[in-house]
Amino acid sequence: MGAGHAHRLYRHAHSPVHALPPHTKLAAVFAFVVVVVSTPREAVWAFAVYAVLLALVARYARVPAGFLLKRLLIEVPFVAFAVLMPFVARGERVDVLGLSLSVNGLWGAWNVLAKGTLGVAASVLLAATTELRELLLGLQRLRLPPLLVQIASFMIRYGDVITDEMRRMRIARESRGFEARGVRHWGVLAKSAGALFIRSYERGERVHLAMVSRGYAGSMPVIDEVTASRAQWSYALALPLTALVVCLLGWAL
Amino acid sequence: MGPVTAETPSLDVSGLAFAYPDGHQALFGVDFRIGRGERVALLGPNGAGKTTLVLHLNGILTAGAGSVTVAGLPVGRRHMAEIRRKVGIVFQDPDDQLFMPTVREDVAFGPAAAGIKGAELEARVRGALEQVGMADFADRPPHHLSFGQRRRVAVATVLAMEPEILVLDEPSSNLDPASRRELADILRSLDVTVLMVTHDLPYALELCPRSLILSDGVIAADGPTGELLSDDVLMRAHRLELPFGFDPRSVTTSA
C-alpha cells in the first residue's frame, strides 16, 4: 500500500453507488444474496437476470468488467468442489461426451456455481465501492455487536503493524544465516510465530493502557454517526427488490 | 515563563510509595509539585521507576502509600474519569497510542469518550491537530504517517482532551533531528503544564527550565536543569551521562 490509499479491493471513484451510506449498501447486498439463494435452481433465466442486474450496478458504480472478473477468481477453490458433484452424486445419470454424470449432481453444481458467483460478485461490488472504514461504520449502524466491530477495526489498524513486525523478524533471521529449507526448520518458524504472538499480545496490553488513559470504559464512543435518507434507502434497495420480483416469478413460472 | 505562583499546583505528589505485586518496590516516597504552566523534565537512569511514577499520575496504578493530586483533585476511584481527562499521557510508542483507523477519529476518541459530540467535537479535533501542524492529515490512517508525524498526532490526541498537565514519556526517542526540533517547537508553543520523562538530557535542557532526578525510587535532586546537568558528581552518582562533546555550561537557553 502506498500513500493515500485504501485497501486494494477498493476502487476509488465518484459514483452514485460510492456515495450511498454504507449501511444501506450492506443491507442491500445481504438482501440480494438472500433472494438469490432462495431462487429455485431450475429457473435458469432468473439467474441470468440477476447477473444483468449486477452488471447494471457495476456500470453505475463505474467498476470495469475486467476488475470485477479478476476479483471473482477468489471463488475458484470453492467452485472446485461444485465441479466434482456431477461425478460423485447418485441418482439418475446422463451421458455427456462419453462421461456418465448424475443429473442431480449437475443441478447441484449449477446451483452452487450460479448462486456462489452472484454472491461473490455482489460482495466484490460492495468492497469496490465502499471503504473498509465505512463498512465498519455501516456494521456499527446496523447494530452488529460492538465488540465484533471493535475487533474488526483493530484488525485493520494493526494488520500492517504486525506484518511489519513479522517482516523485521524474518530479516533478523535471515541476517543470521537462517533459511527455511524443510521440515527441520519448522521449529524455528514456530518459535518466531510464538514470539510474534507474545509481542502482539503485549502490544495489545499497551494499547489498552493508552485507551484507558484517554477515558475508555468498555465501549467505543460514537464519533461518526452515519445516516441515510429515505431516497438513499430506496435507491440502495432497488437492487434486492427487483431481484425479489424476479425470484417470485421464478417460483411462479 | 514566570515563577511558580499559582495557588493550586497542576500536580502535587507527596510521599508516594509503590511496590509491585511480586514484592519489587519501585517507589520509596516521592515528593514534588509542579506549578501551573511549568515545563519540568523527569530524569533518571533505566529502572529508576519513571514509568511506574507516570502510571500513578492518572490512576492506572494506585499508590501503596502517599497521594497524587491533580489541580486540587485527588487521584482515586471517585474522580477517575475527570483525572484521566486532566492528565494527558503521551506514551513512548505512537503505534500503541494511535489505535483508531484514521487520525481524526483517534484525536476525537478522548473527547468523545468524555461525551463531547458534533460541532464541538470537530472543533476540538481541528484545534488539536492545528496545534501540532497535522491538520492536513486528518483523514489518513496513522500507519501511513512517518514516525515523527505519528508522535505529533499522539500529542494531539491528548491535547484534544484539554488536559491540565501533559505527560510525555521519552518524547524524543526514535526521532530524527528535524522531527525532534519540530516537536520541541510545538511543545514550546503550548500553553499547558508539561512533565517530560526523558533520557535525552540536551532535550531536557532545551525545553525544561526545571528538572527532577528520580533515582532508586526517590527524588534525588530538584532544580534548574542547567545547574543539575553541570553538577558532575550528582550526574555520575545517578548514572546520567551527557552526550559526547556536550557541555551544558556552553548552552544558552531561552526556555
Question: Do residues A15 and A60 lie in contact, with contact meaning Cβ atoms separated by under 8 Å?
Answer: yes
Mean pLDDT of A226-247: 88
Average pLDDT, chain B: 90
CB contact residues (below 8 A), chain B span 133-192, against chain A? 140-144, 157-158, 161
**A214: exposed, middle or buried (C-beta count within 10 Å: 0-12, 13-18, 19+)?**
buried
Interfacial B residues in 102-121 facing A (CB < 8 Å): 102, 105, 108-110, 112-115, 121
Q: Does B61 lie at the interface with A, CB-CB under 8 angstroms?
A: no
Determine the Cα–Cα distance for residues A132 and A130; give it in Å rounded to an integer. Answer: 6
Q: How far apart are CA A11 and CA A58, in angstroms?
A: 12
User: Given pLDDT bands bounded at 50, 70 and 90, which one contains residue A41?
Assistant: confident
Whether residues B110 and A214 touch (CB distance < 8 A) is answered with yes
Residues ≥6 apart with Cβ < 8 Å to B197: B41, B42, B50, B51, B54, B167, B168, B169, B170
Q: Are A112 and A81 in contact (CB under 8 A)?
A: yes
Kind of pairing between the strands at B65-70 and B11-19: antiparallel
User: Considering chain A, what is the average pLDDT of its residues?
Assistant: 86
Does residue A127 belong to the interface with chain B, where contact is any CB pair within 8 Å? no
Q: Which of A96-110, B25-39, B45-59 has the highest mean pLDDT?
A: B25-39
Pick from B60, B101, B157: which is nearest to A212 by CB? B60
Distance from CA of B249 to the nearest CA of A (A): 38
Strand (E) positions, chain A? 93-96, 99-102
Please answer yes or no on whether B99 and A3 come within 8 Å at the CB atom.
Answer: no
Q: How far is CA B11 from CA A246, B32, B34, B114, B153, in A?
A: 70, 8, 5, 21, 24
Mutate to test the interface with B, among A12, A213, A224 (most CBs of B within 10 A): A213
DSSP A117-147: HHHHHHHHHHHHHS-HHHHHHHHHHTT--HH
| Spatial separation of the C-alpha atoms in residues B58 and B47, rounded to whole Å | 20
How do A93-96 and A99-102 pair as beta strands?
antiparallel
| Residues of chain B contacting residue A160, judged by C-beta atoms under 8 Å apart | 143
Query: Lowest-pLDDT range, A81-85, A195-199, B208-212, B238-242?
Result: A81-85
CB contact under 8 A, A133 and B101: yes
Q: Write out pLDDT tens, residues A111-124.
A: 989 999 999 999 99
Instruction: For B80, name the nearest residue in chain A, comparing CA atoms only.
Output: A215
Cβ <8 Å between A209 and B60:
yes
Q: Provide, as residue numbers in chain B, all residues whose Cβ is less than 8 Å from the Cβ of A1.
A: 144
Say whether residue B95 is in contact with chain A using an 8 A CB cutoff: yes
pLDDT per residue as tens digits for the range B160-205? 999 999 999 999 999 999 999 999 999 999 989 999 999 899 999 9
A5 pLDDT more than 60: no
- Which residues in chain A are contacts of B161 at CB distance < 8 A? 214-215
pLDDT tens-place string over residues A115-156: 999 999 999 999 999 888 888 889 888 888 888 888 888 888
Contacts of A80 (CB under 8 A, 6+ apart): none
Structural domains of chain B, ranges and CATH numbers in brackets: 11-250 (3.40.50.300)
Strand, coil or helix: what is B67? strand
Rounded CA separation A206/A208 (Å): 5
ipTM of the assembly?
0.79
Q: How confident is the model at residue A13 (pLDDT cuts 50, 70, 90)?
A: confident
* CB neighbourhood size of B247 (10 A): 9
Whether this model's pTM surpasses 0.90: no
What is the secondary structure of B76-108 as a DSSP string? Answer: SGGGHHHHHHHEEEE-S-HHHH--SSSHHHHHH
So what's the pLDDT on residue A143? 86
How far apart are alpha carbons A91 and A78 in whole angstroms?
23
Q: Does A212 touch chain B (CB under 8 A)?
A: yes
